[in-house]
Structure 1
Amino acid sequence: MKNTRRNFIKNTAAASALIAATPVKSFAILHKDSQPDDHIIGQGGFTYKVDKNWAKISVNSNPLANCHEMVQDSKGRLIMLGDHTHNNILIFDKSGKLLDYWGTALPGGHGLSISKEGDEDFLLLTDCGWALDRTGNGYGQSGQVLKTTLDGKLIFAIGHPRTIGIYKDDEPFKPTETAVAPNGDIYVADGYGSDYIIQYNSKGQYIRHFGGRHNTNKDHNLINAHGVTVDTRDKNNPTLICTSREENCFKIFTLDGKFIKRIDMPGMYVCRAVINEQHIYAGVCWSKDANGKRFDYSGFVTVLDANDKVVSNPGGAAPVYKNGVLQPTLQATSPVFQHGHDVCVDEDKNIYVCQWNAYHTAPVKLTRV
C-alpha cells in the first residue's frame, strides 16, 4: 500500500491541524469473560455464536484503540473506522482477513457511513474532535466530516458550522455520525457538540438544522445525538432515526426535521440505528444496573422488528414487555461485550460488533444460528 494513501488526510488543507499518531494509554485491569468465546447469545430467533478471534490482525502491525464503526461495501468487504492514527481504516473480507488499511490523521475517527452513487461507493468519515495527547490524556478540538473514495482520496470536507454562520461562537462542533438520503442529502449528527442534526446537500452545502437542546417541546430535543440513520423501509415515506443516547431512546423525524415520535429503550444507551431489511440493529454502549445507574464496561446489541418492538438482545437480558411497555433491560449475567458502539449486518444476517473502550480489541463476529 502506498504511503501517500495512508497519509492522504494529513496532506489536505482541511485536516492540516490534526495531530500525529500517539500511543494509547494501557488499561490497568484486563477484562476476563466468564463465558467461552463460542457460546450462543440472543433470543427470539435472533441467536448468534460469538467469535472474538474473527479479525486476523496483529496488534504490532495494525494497532487498535477504539473500533468505532463498520460498513459493508458493494463488493462485500467490511470497512472499519477507528481512532488509532497508525491505521484509521481497516478493510476485511468476511473471513476476517485484513485486505487493506489506510489513514493516519483522524485522532477522533468516530462515524463511518457509505454512500452508493451509481456503480461507485464513497465513504463519509466523521472525526468527533476528541483525541489523546502524547501523555495519553484526552483533549478536545473541533471536529469535521470528510467524504472520500474507498481508497482514501478526499472529495470534500465539512468543517465547523460557525464558518458559515450556523453556530454561535460558544456552540461546539464535535460530529459523531452521518447518514445519506436517497437524493444524496447528507445529515450530520453533532452528538458530542451541540446535539443538532445538520442537513447538507450532496455537495456539502448547508440546508437546515434541527434538534439541539433548547426546544420548547422537549420531545424535539436531542441529548447526545450520537447517531442518525435514514430509514427507507417505507420507500414512500422515508424518515430519520436519531439517537438521543442520554435519554435512552431513538427519536424519529421527517427528512426536513419535523418530530414524529420516540422509541424508548429503557436501560439502554443506544448508538446509531442500523437497518437490515425490516429490522433495526444497534450497539448498546452502556446499560444500567438493577438500581437504574449507568454501568461501565457493560453493553450489548439490540434488535427491533418493523413495529419498533425489541425482539432480541444478544449479550443482554431477554426483552420483557408489560402492558405493551418495554421494561429496563440489563446486561447478561455473564458479560460478552464492553461498550457496543456499532454493528454491521451482512447478507447472511451475521453481525459484526465494534466496541469502544474495550481493551483495544478487534470487532467481534456474531454468526447467526
Structure 2
Amino acid sequence: MPNRRDILKKGALALGVSAALPSFGFNILTGRPRPESEMILGHGDYQYKLVRDWAQMSSTRNPILNCHEMVMDSKGRLIMIGDHTDNNILIFDKSGKLLDYWGTSFPGGHGLTLSKEGEEDFLFLTDSGWFLDRHGKMIHHNGRVTKTTLDGHVLFDIGHPQTIGIYEPGDYFCPTEVAVGPNGDIYVADGYGMDYIIQYNSKGEYIRHWGGKNPEDPNYKLANAHGVTIDYRDPDNPLVVCSSRGQNAYKFFTLDGKYVRTLKLPNMWVCRAVFDEQNLYAGVCWSKPEGGTFNWKEHTGFVTVLEGDQVVSNPGGTAPNYEDGVLLPTYQLPEKPILHGHDVCIDEDKNLYVCQWNANKTPPLKLERI
C-alpha cells in the first residue's frame, strides 16, 4: 500500500511540480496558500509538516528560557535540557505530553547526552557557564559536566581542567557538549571556552586533549567547538565528530584524537551532528543572510539533513545546491519558520524534534515526516 509520502510525490509530479522543490507556504496539490498549521518544510525525500504546538505544557508552571538539546531514551521518552532553573530537564512522550521535570542547579543548561550502559540509561548534563539573564545580558559562571540517572540523581561531576593542570589560571572552562565512546570514554567539548576536546575515561579521569583555537596544525583548529558526537556509521572505525561552528564545518578525529578529515557546510553554523542510520542531521544555529553579514543576535537558523556527506534537505532553509560537486551556501527562508536550529532529535518514525535557542521562550518544534 503506498504511503502518504508516495501519494504526495505522485500528486506533485502529476501537476508538473518537482517533488524535490520545497513546498513551503503553499499546498503542492492545489497551489493555494497553505495555513501555518500545514506548513511543509524541506526538500526531496525529507519533507516535514511543521507542528508548532506539539509540546503540551504550561509556560507558567514549566517556564522555558532556551531549549538547547533533546535525546530519546530506551523507553521512547523525549528528554530536553534548557537553562531555566525551575525545570532544567523536561521529559515528554512523543505526543508532546509532559511526563516529568526536574533540575534546578544548571543555569547554563546546554548539552544533553544519553549514555546506554548495559540495560540502563544515564545522562550527561553540560552547563556551559553562560546564560542570558532576563535583560538579555550574558552572565558567566563556572562550567560543569555532570553524570546523572534519568530521574536526576547525580553520580559525579567533572571539574575545571585547571585542577588537573591542563588549563592555566584564568582560562575559561565553558563546556557545551559531551560524547561517550564505545569503551565508555567521555569526550567533553569546551566550545565556549578554550575550544579543546578533552578526553576522560568512564570514571572522569583525564586521558588527553586536542584542538584549541590556534594549534600548530590548522587541521586541529576548532573555532567554537560547539558539539561532539561519536560517528558509528562504520562500526569498525568509529570517529569523534566535532562541530567547528566558526568554520562552518565538522571535523572528524579518531578515538584517540588524530585528525581524519573536514566536512565543510558553507554558511551553516552547525551544532552537534546527530546520526540516524547513515544520515547526519543537525541544527543550524545561524547563517548569514544573502548579501548580508553575520549577526549572532539575529534569527537566521534552520535544520540540515545529509545522506552520508551529501546535503539532501534543509528544513527552514533554501534547497541544497551543488556546483561541480561543491556545496553552495544555504540561506534561511525569508519567512523564518525556524529561528535557530540548536539541536535535532529523531524518533523511530523519522519525525524531527527541533530545540531552539533564543526563540522567544518557546518549547521544541515537531517536524512530522511526510
- TM-score when scaled to structure 1? 0.89
Q: Counterparts in 2 of 1:13-92, with a 5 A limit?
A: 36-92=36-92
Give the whole-Å Cα distance in 1 for the aligned partners of 2:254 and 2:291.
36
User: Conserved in 2, the CA contact under 8 Å of 1:241 and 1:253?
Assistant: yes
Q: 1:302 aligns with which of 304, 308, 332?
A: 304
Give the whole-Å Cα distance in 1 for the aligned partners of 2:287 and 2:131.
25
User: Conserved in 2, the CA contact under 8 Å of 1:148 and 1:156?
Assistant: yes
Instruction: Tell me how far 1:35 sits from its aligned partner.
Output: 6.5
Aligned-partner residue type, residue 349 of structure 1: K
Deviations 1:274-303 (A, max 9, x none): 000000000000111112522521110001
Give the whole-Å Cα distance in 2 for the aligned partners of 1:96 and 1:274.
21
Instruction: Tell me how far 1:244 sits from its aligned partner.
Output: 0.3
Structure-1 residue corresponding to 2:149: 149
Give the whole-Å Cα distance in 1 for the aligned partners of 2:210 and 2:344.
26
Structure-2 residue corresponding to 1:329: 330
Deviations 1:104-126 (A, max 9, x none): 11000000000000010000000
Q: Counterparts in 2 of 1:121-270, with a 5 A limit?
A: 121-132=121-132, 137-270=137-270
Aligned-partner residue type, residue 75 of structure 1: K
Deviations 1:210-252 (A, max 9, x none): 0001212212100000000000110100001100001111111
User: Conserved in 1, the CA contact under 8 Å of 2:178 and 2:187?
Assistant: yes
Provide the secondary structure at the position in 1 that maps to 2:246: helix
Structure-2 residue corresponding to 1:3: none
Change (3 A) 1:42 1:207: same
Aligned-partner residue type, residue 196 of structure 1: Y
Give the whole-Å Cα distance in 2 for the aligned partners of 1:192 and 1:36.
35
User: Conserved in 1, the CA contact under 8 Å of 2:267 and 2:288?
Assistant: yes
Give the whole-Å Cα distance in 1 for the aligned partners of 2:200 and 2:354.
29
Decide which structure has the larger Cα Rg and report it: 2
Give the whole-Å Cα distance in 1 for the aligned partners of 2:132 and 2:327.
38
Structure-1 residue corresponding to 2:98: 98
Unaligned runs of 5+ in 2: 1-33
User: Conserved in 2, the CA contact under 8 Å of 1:267 and 1:292?
Assistant: no
User: Conserved in 2, the CA contact under 8 Å of 1:71 and 1:344?
Assistant: yes
Give the whole-Å Cα distance in 2 for the aligned partners of 1:134 and 1:69.
21
Give the whole-Å Cα distance in 2 for the aligned partners of 1:211 and 1:350.
34
Structure-1 residue corresponding to 2:6: none
Deviations 1:45-91 (A, max 9, x none): 00000000000001110000000000000000000000000000000
Unaligned runs of 5+ in 1: 1-33
Provide the secondary structure at the position in 2 that maps to 1:75: coil
Instruction: Tell me how far 1:37 sits from its aligned partner.
Output: 3.6
Change (3 A) 1:77 1:290: same
Give the whole-Å Cα distance in 2 for the aligned partners of 1:220 and 1:226.
14
Give the whole-Å Cα distance in 1 for the aligned partners of 2:288 and 2:251.
20
Structure-2 residue corresponding to 1:12: none
Give the whole-Å Cα distance in 1 for the aligned partners of 2:287 and 2:136.
27
Provide the secondary structure at the position in 1 that maps to 2:38: coil
Instruction: Tell me how far 1:138 sits from its aligned partner.
Output: 2.5
Instruction: Tell me how far 1:145 sits from its aligned partner.
Output: 0.1
Give the whole-Å Cα distance in 1 for the aligned partners of 2:43 and 2:140.
40
Structure-1 residue corresponding to 2:350: 349
Aligned-partner residue type, residue 304 of structure 1: L
Aligned-partner residue type, residue 316 of structure 2: G
- TM-score when scaled to structure 2? 0.88
Change (3 A) 1:136 1:47: closer
User: Conserved in 1, the CA contact under 8 Å of 2:289 and 2:300?
Assistant: no
Structure-2 residue corresponding to 1:111: 111
**Percent of counterpart pairs with the same letter?**
62
Change (3 A) 1:165 1:290: same
Structure-2 residue corresponding to 1:359: 360
Change (3 A) 1:35 1:197: farther
Instruction: Tell me how far 1:333 sits from its aligned partner.
Output: 2.7
User: Conserved in 1, the CA contact under 8 Å of 2:42 and 2:313?
Assistant: yes
Give the whole-Å Cα distance in 1 for the aligned partners of 2:232 and 2:135.
45
Structure-2 residue corresponding to 1:11: none
User: Conserved in 2, the CA contact under 8 Å of 1:145 and 1:158?
Assistant: yes
- Number of aligned positions between the proteins: 335
Structure-2 residue corresponding to 1:21: none
Provide the secondary structure at the position in 2 that maps to 1:219: helix
Instruction: Tell me how far 1:170 sits from its aligned partner.
Output: 3.1
